[in-house]
Chains A and B, each alone.
Chain A
């Protein structure tokens, strides 16, 4: 009896009698049904399949529990619970336009660690800032940043410019054309809907006044009990030209 090329289903030969057609169709249909089920063993919402060691037979993997990630165990996919302290890269975003918003940040972690680097902008030197948001609302940040060692502190309170990653008004102005910059922003307890969240920035960028690489530290908090599920990046000096933001969730 002839068979199909890929799955070896039995089909009638050209010389078979018409009276045997029903039986031949039934045999073919059963073979197709068996193969299809072997390739698609899903039974439940969220199931995924992967290839098993047997040809044309997939293995069903039921959905994991909330917060688990897909990893590899023994050469096959497996849902794994992230251990405490582990970093998970949630997103990579290129900065552009007057404003870049990052939305729908997972609420499954304890802390957000955000790396921002290679930032330049058009038109003029300005204040580069990162504002925590909830849905479509900018959240208030209260923070303090020393403008220089021994100098007075820059105090930031309650506005939509959030925590400034660079400054424009009191020295240490960022050169908009130099992409040698890097900031780490950390928001602890960001998913809480009952408490304020600590907000810290450590970074450096090239200063316009003397061309030195300057450090910047900002410490404060997000003055809101709303969860942080978004971030807004903008530069008051003009459109963002380059820059990358990587968001990590920390368990």
Chain B
């Protein structure tokens, strides 16, 4: 399977290269994607925990927003 594509625009020479990522570039790209995925999971878990508290207190999302604003 081929690696994802990267465009490199050298603006000093205006040369544009479109090619597959090197192993090093792919490693950074994958690491960032994984990190962002983890961040999203954490944010979702946090939002769910917040909602669970609101539910326990019998508050709607709007009421909760009003309370913490």
Contact = CB atoms under 8 A, between A and B. Distances in A.
A31 interface: no
A96 B28 contact: no
Interface residues of A, number: 31
Given A104-B12, A159-B32, A160-B28, A99 B43 contact: no
A163 interface: no
Interface string B1-23: 00011111111111000100100
Interface in A91-111: 91, 93, 95-106
A239 interface: yes
Contacts of B31: 160
B6 A97 contact: yes
Chain A at the B interface: SS class: loop
A236 interface: yes
Interface in B10-69: 10-14, 18, 21, 25, 28-29, 31-33, 35-37, 39-40, 42-44, 47, 65, 68-69
Contact of B6 (A93, A100, A126): A100
A93 B25 CA distance: 20
Contacts of B43: 169-170
Interface string A159-173: 111000000111000
Contacts of B8: 100-101, 103
A247 interface: yes
A168 B6 contact: no
Contacts of B6: 97-101
B32 A150 contact: no
A90 B11 contact: yes
A241 interface: no
A138 interface: yes
A97 B7 contact: yes
A161 B31 CA distance: 10
A236 B4 contact: no
A127 interface: yes
A93 to B, nearest CB: 5
Contacts of A159: 32, 35
B7 to A, nearest CB: 4
Given A98-B6, A247-B11, A160 B32 contact: yes
Interface in A76-93: 90-91, 93
Given A150-B65, A169-B43, A247-B11, A98 B28 contact: no
Given A97-B5, A103-B8, A104-B12, 7 more contacts: A97-B4, A100-B8, A104-B13, A106-B11, A160-B35, A169-B44, A239-B5
